[in-house]
């Protein structure tokens, strides 16, 4: 069976239905493009054909390129020829002498949208689940099928640059407003009817850029308005990417250079920039982790087999603070009934008000009706009454990080909770096995570690206690996916995975400050490394007082076990900042930074006095190595100790959990890209100079000796 079904109706309208056998989604590869090319030849050779409609037999239109093929490429010539071949194919389509309409019955991303842009008209079903865009930059690539040339010529350079640089995905109504979808339809019948009507009404359709009188909407690269835009756009992009993402530069270059040459030359320029990116280490890092590994996680790689899919209908949230309020919001958003419980009605109401604030903003922007907002809020019940927890499928405890408080709410909850229900703790550091001792059913006890702010952060870390059952893990996994988050699964330990490794970044920043490195240099090194925020600013965000609390709690735990706690060199700095200097972090308006009410935050001037500068200031590359190697090495230790069980969970957890440089593909992929042997050698150099925290994991030494890498 052909991947392209070709029919011609009585009016001479050819319909091409893309429907690849044995696949749930159409992708661009030889299996599709070969019969598509044959169909174009039929159109070109048959004068009776008056127009063309292209649609899909799948739920979605066309996902885009075959990522496996792109990922495997190491020869830029091969990548260039692939891009040129696809563009030649699309060029034949748009110059076949007949009107061509893309009837978009679902999502069209990347190469799928580029196919639609090569049609003369685009009609889409107005389905909120459908997405349209050119998101290649998210995988370290650029649109290689003419997207950087067609979209600016269709909607203007400025309008085209932002979605390509950000990889934005549009809903149908947004795409129509942006100007690259022409018309919307309510269903497939209306979609095809509108497509046919346009074909019949426009027998001599040509692309705007093939008209001799064509001008770029808003001006080309030589026009005064665009000259100004293109003069500042690279510096704005560099400020955002710190030059870690070559795709952004290449997209800007394609658009600028395409704006001073003809369409055909612009397409060839695009192919060259595309080929450079395909073989780059950045694209290999990002595709490997943010495509293959992320898809494996989302398909349930870490979910136990043998248990039917479950869903939560009623959720209890204990603690209506920032975390609890966020958990209530994301749960109610997907239709779950939520009981939000706190010690006072005022606190519970305040937790619900968090959702009200977020929803009011959506109503104000026209993204939600007042009725939909009220319906949403009706699903959240703020209370102080534990009896209302009855009937919950899942209860998530999000109270203060104190064992006795957590134990108390566990017992009160289990008194009214069904035997089959799951109890979860949102703790970020306290071992789940220890917390589960307060439970009468530890098999049903699990950790669900959310990240703040919950409504924005994409990850949930699922933590297994010593007695957590596989069924409980399956239920926890299903709930995380139900609220549209990405789950990673880790075993129980102090700090688990994300908190444990995240701490190395902010503590290394503190160590550098204690050693007399300039605070601005420390912050810039973090940004240049690809982290979203410098380590000192990030420490302020999570609060120095929390670090101090965890430090004191950990010392107590070690003492209770009769052990001496290993001291980090930055512990003294944390204690000085919190206890002596009373600078606990951003929430208090003072930490490493000052936070004036009516101004920009800035580094506290007193840092120079409290932590005098050393005459031996390190090179930026050395600062970056310390900040990155300490994180990657700790991640490798977590993998070695089976705290985190898969390479995918380790990499995705690092990027989504605390923002480990996405262009590096995650903490373990960073080691792969450096080379395991080189990473070990550099780690040993750092350990000799700065301490045992840099000593490479035993697993890494073994892998280096055997010539292995993380797979």
In degrees and rounded to multiples of 5, residue 122 shows phi and psi of -135, 120
Other beta carbons less than 10 A from residue 239's beta carbon: 10
Are 5 and 19 in contact by the 8 Å Cβ rule? The answer is: yes
* Exposure class string for 321-330: b at 16+ Cβ within 10 A, else e: eebbbbbbbb
- Residue of 337, 397, 461, 523 marked catalytic: 461
Q: Which residues pair with 459 in a beta bridge?
A: 486
Q: Which residues pair with 124 in a beta bridge?
A: 104, 184
The distance from CA 675 to its chain's CA centroid, rounded to whole angstroms, is 25
Closest CA to 100 of 2, 184, 172, 195: 195
Instruction: Give CA–CA dist 19/35, Å, rounded.
Output: 11
The distance from CA 689 to its chain's CA centroid, rounded to whole angstroms, is 36
Are 463 and 487 in contact by the 8 Å Cβ rule? The answer is: no
Are 448 and 514 in contact by the 8 Å Cβ rule? The answer is: no
Instruction: Give CA–CA dist 635/631, Å, rounded.
Output: 6
3-class secondary-structure state, position 100: strand
Known catalytic membership, residue 461: yes
Are 205 and 100 in contact by the 8 Å Cβ rule? The answer is: yes
Are 425 and 448 in contact by the 8 Å Cβ rule? The answer is: yes
Dihedral sign for Cα atoms in the order 409, 410, 414, 415: negative
- Which residue reads 């512990």 in tokens? 571
Return the H-helix or E-strand segment holding 491.
Answer: strand 486-491
Instruction: Give CA–CA dist 641/638, Å, rounded.
Output: 5
Q: Catalytic amino acids?
A: 461
């Amino acid at each position: 069976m052909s991947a392209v079904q070709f029919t011609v109706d009585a009016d001479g309208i050819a319909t091409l239905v893309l429907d690849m056998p044995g696949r749930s989604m159409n992708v661009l590869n030889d299996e599709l493009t070969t019969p598509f090319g044959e169909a174009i030849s039929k159109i070109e050779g048959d004068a009776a054909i008056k127009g063309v409609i292209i649609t899909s037999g799948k739920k979605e239109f066309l996902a885009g390129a075959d990522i496996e093929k792109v990922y495997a490429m190491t020869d830029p010539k091969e990548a260039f020829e692939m891009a040129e071949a696809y563009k030649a194919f699309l060029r034949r389509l748009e110059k076949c002498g007949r009107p061509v309409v893309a009837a978009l019955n679902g999502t069209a991303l990347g190469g799928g949208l580029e196919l639609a842009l090569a049609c003369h008209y685009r009609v889409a079903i107005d389905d909120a689940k459908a997405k349209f865009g050119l998101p290649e930059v998210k995988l370290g690539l650029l649109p290689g099928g003419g997207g950087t040339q067609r979209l600016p010529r269709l909607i203007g350079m400025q309008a085209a640059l932002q979605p390509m640089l950000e990889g934005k995905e549009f809903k149908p109504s947004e795409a129509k407003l942006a100007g690259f979808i022409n018309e919307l339809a309510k269903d497939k019948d209306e979609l095809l009817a509108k497509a046919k009507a346009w074909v019949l009404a426009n027998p001599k359709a040509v692309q705007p850029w093939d008209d001799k009188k064509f001008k770029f909407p808003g001006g080309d690269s030589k026009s005064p308005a665009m000259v100004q835009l293109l003069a500042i756009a690279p510096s704005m992009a560099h400020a955002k990417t710190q030059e870690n993402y070559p795709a952004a530069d290449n997209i800007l270059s394609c658009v600028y250079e395409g704006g001073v040459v003809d369409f055909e030359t612009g397409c060839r320029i695009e192919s060259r920039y595309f080929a450079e990116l395909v073989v780059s280490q950045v694209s290999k890092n990002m595709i490997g982790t943010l495509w293959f590994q992320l898809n494996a996680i989302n398909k349930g790689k870490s979910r136990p087999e043998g248990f039917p899919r479950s869903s939560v209908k009623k959720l209890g949230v204990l603690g209506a603070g920032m975390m609890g309020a966020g958990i209530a919001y994301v749960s109610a958003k997907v239709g779950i009934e939520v009981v939000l419980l706190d010690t006072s009605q005022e606190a519970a109401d305040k937790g619900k008000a968090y959702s009200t604030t977020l929803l009011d903003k959506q109503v104000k922007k026209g993204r939600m009706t007042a009725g939909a907002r009220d319906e949403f809020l009706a699903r959240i019940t703020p209370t102080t009454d534990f009896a209302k927890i009855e009937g919950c499928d899942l209860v998530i405890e999000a109270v203060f990080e104190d064992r006795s408080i957590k134990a108390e709410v566990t017992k009160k909850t289990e008194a009214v909770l069904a035997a089959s229900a799951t109890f979860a703790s949102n703790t970020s550091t306290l071992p789940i096995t220890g917390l589960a001792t307060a439970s009468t059913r530890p098999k049903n006890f699990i950790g669900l570690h959310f990240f703040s702010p919950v409504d924005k952060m994409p990850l949930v870390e699922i933590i297994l206690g010593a007695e957590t059952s596989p069924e409980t893990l399956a239920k926890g996994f299903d709930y995380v996916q139900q609220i549209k988050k990405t789950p990673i699964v880790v075993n129980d330990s102090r700090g688990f995975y994300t908190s444990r490794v995240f701490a190395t970044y902010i503590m290394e920043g503190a160590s550098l400050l204690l050693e007399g490195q300039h605070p601005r240099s420390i912050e810039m090194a973090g940004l240049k490394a690809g982290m979203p925020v410098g380590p000192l600013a990030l420490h302020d965000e999570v609060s120095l007082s929390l670090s101090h609390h965890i430090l004191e709690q950990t010392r107590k735990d070690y003492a209770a076990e009769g052990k001496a706690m290993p001291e980090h060199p930055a512990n003294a700095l944390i204690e000085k900042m919190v206890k002596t200097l009373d600078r606990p972090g951003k929430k208090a308006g003072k930490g490493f930074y000052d936070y004036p009410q009516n101004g920009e935050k800035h580094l506290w001037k007193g840092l120079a006095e409290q932590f005098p500068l050393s005459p031996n200031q390190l090179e930026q590359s050395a600062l970056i190595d310390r900040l990155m190697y300490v994180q990657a090495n700790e991640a490798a230790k977590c993998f070695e100790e089976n705290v985190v069980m898969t390479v995918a969970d380790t990499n995705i957890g690092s990027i989504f959990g605390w923002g480990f440089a996405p262009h590096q593909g995650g903490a373990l992929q960073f080691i792969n890209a450096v080379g395991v042997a080189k990473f070990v050698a550099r780690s040993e150099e750092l350990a000799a100079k700065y301490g045992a925290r840099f000593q490479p994991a035993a697993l890494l030494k073994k892998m280096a000796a055997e010539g292995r890498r993380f797979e």
